[in-house]
Chain A
Amino acid sequence: MIRHLKILEYALSSLVRRKFKNLSIIVVYTLTISVLASILFLTHSLKLEASNILLEAPDVIVQKISAGRHDLIPAEYITKIRDIPGVGTAKPRYWGYYYDALTHSNYTLLGSDSNLTGLSLLKGSMPSDSGQCAIGKGVSDVRLTGIGREMILVDSKNTGVVFTIVGVFSSESSLLTNDLVILEKEDLIKFFGLKAGSATDIAVKVHNENEVQTVAGKIKQLLPDTRPITKSEIIRTYDTVFNWRSGMMLTIFSSALIAFCILAWDKATGISAEEKQEIGILKAIGWDTGDILVLKFWEGIVVSLTSFLLGIIAAFIHVFFLGATILAPVIKGWSVLFPDFRFVPYIDLYQIFVMGFLTIAPYIASTVIPSWKASVTDPENVMRG
């Protein structure tokens, strides 16, 4: 124990000697780890949040597919679906996209029943009458508007339609409602000029949780031109956020990996004449090969553990206290409306340990292994300089 403490002491002296070099390694290393950890934290939080919230999503959504594309679904499909045993309710959903040329942003327009009340994340009320709308926080921000004001949207006949804003969703719900514009169902049908007797898709409620898959299969069988999407599929979609194969991850990880390899390569090849000489001196004055490996081990631990801990701390602050401000523009891509992240700090300890292992172990290896070769040779060479 005392031996380790003392060797640690010398390892620190030895690191302090190359202050600049080691500090820059720690800085780069900390940055790399904090970027990776930020992404892991953010992804994990988003995934859990999605799977928790979307538990209440419709059991099955039935789309009509026509020529490989999503098409409007005829209303008579609803009755056919209702007749399938196990189906509770089947209701049409009316929604679509709207490009707002004024702000260059895309909204999601959603038709709602006029009798919706008691939404706790809505300031004001839902549209209860023709000519009213409720909007997401993002929309109200980008349009610089609010409750009681008017909003003009251009409909499918290219005429401006005036809606009165009666409700704005609170920012806590941004993750769900940021770009929503909710209209009365009849308003929406008229606005988009939807064909009479057709809907965007059908939301199906199934009595028994376990029968969802069966019902979906039956729908597909009964109506071959549809595509049923089950709730579990919906939730599963969010498992692919930042998955390992997607481009973003690949870019970040490969650059981190490359940075790491350069570092390791530099260490592996660059055990300098000076370092070799030092190892020789230590051996000559009574250090064992083992002692030298312990020294190098501690040098590696000091750099990598410090970087790792600092990186994780920085990532935590960044993601959970600052709302991933630095990463957000990257994730945002070309979206104009983008919610403020208020991530719930779900932490996966296992993930952190794996990350710790994957960053600390290779660094220590790249510190210890090159020195090992230098430390097994006879120290006699130092006598000749």
Chain B
Amino acid sequence: MAEGKLLIHIEDVTKIYNPGKPDEIRALSGASLNIGGGEVIVLKGPSGSGKTTMLSLIGCMSRPTSGKIVVEGRDVAKLPEHFLTNIRRKTFGFIFQQFNLIRNVSVIENVLLPLYPLKTGLSEMRERGEKVLGDLGIREKWHLKVNRLSGGEQQRVAIARALINEPDVIIADEPTAHLDRQLSLDLLKILEDLNREGKTVVIATHDPIVYDHPFVKRIVEMRDGRIQGVTVK
């Protein structure tokens, strides 16, 4: 499905942390990448190679130091925060490496978190939450505090939260880092299903289970903040 319409266009992007200071770090230099709708793309590379940085730029979590990132036809680098938030809300669902759930809050509330600032009514929110949890097979846990769940279940809560605002793009940063082999395969199954529904999936990983999986169509190899090469399967 790599031939779907262009969703994200990254052109010669550089990201420098702490510019001009002694601890200046060039996390990304001159990276260019196009992501089409419905694609499954993996950023592969050793730790520190700039994968997370790349994901945060794609997901409008931060702005590039130089270069151009076009999401939905708009240059992200120049938009004010409010618009970035808006794009993030509508377009992206994030699955973080450390699940980043809010401790001591129930499963359902964690899942619905992205909807609180929106106009969606409470009952509709509730319905959507239960549906997503049902799809992921953890519906009966909705009232538990998230820290009572196992790692795999927490991962599912995180996925449910990423899906709740029905995003076009799922961004997952090292999603298998805290999972065993079986759970990793389950997760990939979920991502595969989501992709089949038409969602674009962008994964950063250095786990062979992920990048060797048949549903991954394109592998972007990264090293020292540069894109080394692209493999299309």
Verify B161–A285 contact, CB threshold 8 A.
Answer: yes
Verify B121–A3 contact, CB threshold 8 A.
Answer: no
Q: Which residues of B contact A278 (CB under 8 A)?
A: 102
Verify B121–A378 contact, CB threshold 8 A.
Answer: no
Roughly how many angstroms separate A17 CA and B109 CA in the complex, as a whole number?
12
Q: Which residues of A contact B62 (CB under 8 A)?
A: 378, 380
Q: A8 — nearest CB in chain B belongs to which residue?
A: B116
Q: A10 — nearest CB in chain B belongs to which residue?
A: B116
**Nearest-Cβ distance from residue A297 to partner chain B, whole angstroms:** 13
Mask for A12-31, Cβ within 8 A of B = 1, else 0?
01100100000000000000
**Nearest-Cβ distance from residue A16 to partner chain B, whole angstroms:** 8
Roughly how many angstroms separate A380 CA and B105 CA in the complex, as a whole number?
22
Q: Is B142 an interface residue (CB 8 A)?
A: no
Q: Is B233 an interface residue (CB 8 A)?
A: no
Q: Is A38 an interface residue (CB 8 A)?
A: no
Verify B52–A384 contact, CB threshold 8 A.
Answer: yes
Q: Is A289 an interface residue (CB 8 A)?
A: yes
Verify A286–B85 contact, CB threshold 8 A.
Answer: yes
Roughly how many angstroms separate A380 CA and B116 CA in the complex, as a whole number?
21
Residues of A354-374 contacting chain B, CB below 8 A: none
Q: Is A288 an interface residue (CB 8 A)?
A: yes
Roughly how many angstroms separate A146 CA and B87 CA in the complex, as a whole number?
86
Q: Is B226 an interface residue (CB 8 A)?
A: no
Verify B52–A383 contact, CB threshold 8 A.
Answer: yes
Q: A17 — nearest CB in chain B belongs to which residue?
A: B104
Q: Is A282 an interface residue (CB 8 A)?
A: yes
Q: Given A378-B62, A382-B100, A285 and B105 touching (CB < 8 A)? A: no
Verify B61–A383 contact, CB threshold 8 A.
Answer: yes
Q: B105 — nearest CB in chain A belongs to which residue?
A: A13
**Nearest-Cβ distance from residue A42 to partner chain B, whole angstroms:** 42
Verify A286–B114 contact, CB threshold 8 A.
Answer: yes
Q: Is B173 an interface residue (CB 8 A)?
A: yes
Q: Which residues of A contact B116 (CB under 8 A)?
A: 3, 6-7, 9-10, 287, 291
**Nearest-Cβ distance from residue B55 to partner chain A, whole angstroms:** 7
Roughly how many angstroms separate A328 CA and B92 CA in the complex, as a whole number?
63
**Nearest-Cβ distance from residue A85 to partner chain B, whole angstroms:** 79
Report which residue of A277, A283, A382, A383 has the largest number of chain B beta carbons within 10 angstroms of its beta carbon: A383
Q: Is A154 an interface residue (CB 8 A)?
A: no
Q: Which residues of B contact A3 (CB under 8 A)?
A: 116-119
Q: B109 — nearest CB in chain A belongs to which residue?
A: A13
Verify B113–A380 contact, CB threshold 8 A.
Answer: no
Residues of A265-321 contacting chain B, CB below 8 A: 274, 277-278, 281-289, 291, 294
Q: Is B21 an interface residue (CB 8 A)?
A: no
Verify B117–A378 contact, CB threshold 8 A.
Answer: no
Verify A17–B105 contact, CB threshold 8 A.
Answer: yes
**Nearest-Cβ distance from residue A343 to partner chain B, whole angstroms:** 45
Report which residue of B63, B105, B106, B161 has the largest number of chain A beta carbons within 10 angstroms of its beta carbon: B105
Q: Is B184 an interface residue (CB 8 A)?
A: no
Q: Is B79 an interface residue (CB 8 A)?
A: no
Q: Which residues of B contact A2 (CB under 8 A)?
A: 119, 121-122
Roughly how many angstroms separate A294 CA and B117 CA in the complex, as a whole number?
9
Roughly how many angstroms separate A382 CA and B81 CA in the complex, as a whole number?
17
Residues of B116-174 contacting chain A, CB below 8 A: 116-119, 121-122, 125, 161-162, 165, 173
Q: Is A333 an interface residue (CB 8 A)?
A: no
Q: Is B66 an interface residue (CB 8 A)?
A: no
Roughly how many angstroms separate A9 CA and B118 CA in the complex, as a whole number?
13
Q: Among the listed B88, B100, B105, B125, which residue makes an inter-chain contact with A286, where contact means beta carbons less than 8 Å apart?
A: B88
Q: Is A323 an interface residue (CB 8 A)?
A: no
Roughly how many angstroms separate A349 CA and B148 CA in the complex, as a whole number?
49
Verify A288–B85 contact, CB threshold 8 A.
Answer: yes
Roughly how many angstroms separate A286 CA and B164 CA in the complex, as a whole number?
11
Roughly how many angstroms separate A3 CA and B122 CA in the complex, as a whole number?
10
Q: Which residues of B contact A74 (CB under 8 A)?
A: none
Q: Given A278-B102, A378-B62, A383-B96, A285 and B113 touching (CB < 8 A)? A: yes
Q: Is A379 an interface residue (CB 8 A)?
A: yes
Verify A10–B109 contact, CB threshold 8 A.
Answer: yes
Roughly how many angstroms separate A234 CA and B229 CA in the complex, as a whole number?
95
Verify A382–B113 contact, CB threshold 8 A.
Answer: no
Roughly how many angstroms separate A10 CA and B125 CA in the complex, as a whole number?
13
Residues of A214-241 contacting chain B, CB below 8 A: none
Q: Is B65 an interface residue (CB 8 A)?
A: no
Verify B98–A385 contact, CB threshold 8 A.
Answer: yes
Q: Which residues of A contact B96 (CB under 8 A)?
A: 284, 382-383, 385
Verify B100–A7 contact, CB threshold 8 A.
Answer: no
Q: Which residues of A contact B9 (CB under 8 A)?
A: none
**Nearest-Cβ distance from residue A249 to partner chain B, whole angstroms:** 42
Some 22 contacts from A to B, beta carbons below 8 A apart, are A2-B121, A3-B117, A7-B117, A9-B122, A10-B113, A17-B105, A283-B85, A284-B94, A284-B96, A285-B113, A286-B85, A286-B114, A286-B117, A291-B116, A291-B117, A294-B117, A380-B56, A380-B61, A382-B96, A383-B55, A383-B56, A385-B97
- Chain A to chain B: the 3 pairs with minimum beta-carbon distance, closest first: A286-B89, A291-B117, A380-B62
A7-B117, A289-B81, A383-B55 provided; 12 other pairs, C-beta below 8 A? A3-B116, A6-B122, A6-B125, A9-B122, A281-B100, A284-B100, A285-B161, A287-B85, A287-B116, A380-B56, A383-B61, A383-B97
User: Which chain A residues have a beta carbon within 8 Å of chain B's beta carbons?
Assistant: 2-3, 5-7, 9-10, 13-14, 17, 274, 277-278, 281-289, 291, 294, 378-380, 382-385
